[in-house]
Amino acid sequence: MGNTLLTVKNLHKEFDGKTILKSIDFEVIKGEVIVIIGPSGCGKSTLLRCLNGLEDIQGGEILIDDRKVISGSKDITAIRQKIGMVFQSYDLFPHKTILENIILAPMKVLKRKRSEVEAEATELLSRVGLADRKNDYPRQLSGGQKQRIAIVRSLIMHPEVLLLDEITAALDPEMVHEVLQVVLDLAKTGSTMLIVTHEMSFAKAIADRVLFLENGEIAEESSNPKEFFEAPKTERAKQFLKSFEY
C-alpha cells in the first residue's frame, strides 16, 4: 500500500465528563476511501471534527504527515489546510457569487493569484457540472448544487485528506444522487477520503475500508466492504445493517 497520511492513536474525547470516543486507533493510507458508519450518537461526526482540530481531545493523538493535530495550536491553520472538510450544511456566503465563494480561501489563506485560482475554480466547476452557474448566487441553486459547490470549495485548497460529514443528510432524495456521483468520481481519481454516511448502497460502492462505530468505539473494522455488508462479523453490525435496504 501507499504512504500513511493520517494516524489516529488511542483517541479519547469527552463532553462534560461524558465519554464520546474511546480507544480509537486507525491509519489512513494515501488514496484510500474509508467509510464510517454506525447508529446516531455513536460519535461519527465528532470523530471527523477531532481529526480536523475542531474539537479538543482528552487523550491519544492525531497525526497528519507526522504533525500533531492540536485544536488551538499556533500551527493549526496550516495543518487544517491539509485536511478539507465538507459539512451537512453548505455554509456558503449568500452575498457572494459561486465563483467568489470558491476563490476566497485560496486567495486569502494561500495567497494565490486571482487569475490562477479562477482558472482552477472553473475547471473544478466543470467537473461537477456547474461551470455555467459560477456567476450565480447561492440562493439561485438547489441544495444538491450548493453541496457540490461546497465540495469544490474544499478541493481547491488541495487537501491531502477530505472529510465528508453526512453531506446528503439535508438534501431531498432526488438531489442525493448528483452529490454522491461527484464523490464517486473523486474516489476514481485517487482522492483520500473519510466519509460519514447513512447511504449504505453508496458506502458499499465506494469504500476501501469500513469502520463501524458503536458507543464511541470501533466495534468492527473491515478492509473487505463487500464481505462486511453481506456478512458482518459482529452481532451489533448485523442488527444495524438490517435496518437498511440497499
pLDDT of residue 246: 54
Q: Classify strands 4-15 and 217-222 as parallel, antiparallel or unpaired.
A: unpaired
pLDDT of residue 75: 85
pLDDT of residue 22: 96
> What is the model's pTM?
0.93
Q: In degrees to the nearest 10, what's the CA dihedral of 244, 218, 56, 52?
A: -60
pLDDT of residue 170: 84
Q: Hey, what amino acid is at 64?
A: I
> Which of the residues in the chain have pLDDT under 70?
1-2, 245-246
The predicted-structure confidence for 44-55, as pLDDT tens digits, reads as follows 999 999 999 999
Sign of the torsion formed by the C-alpha atoms of 166, 38, 34 and 204: negative
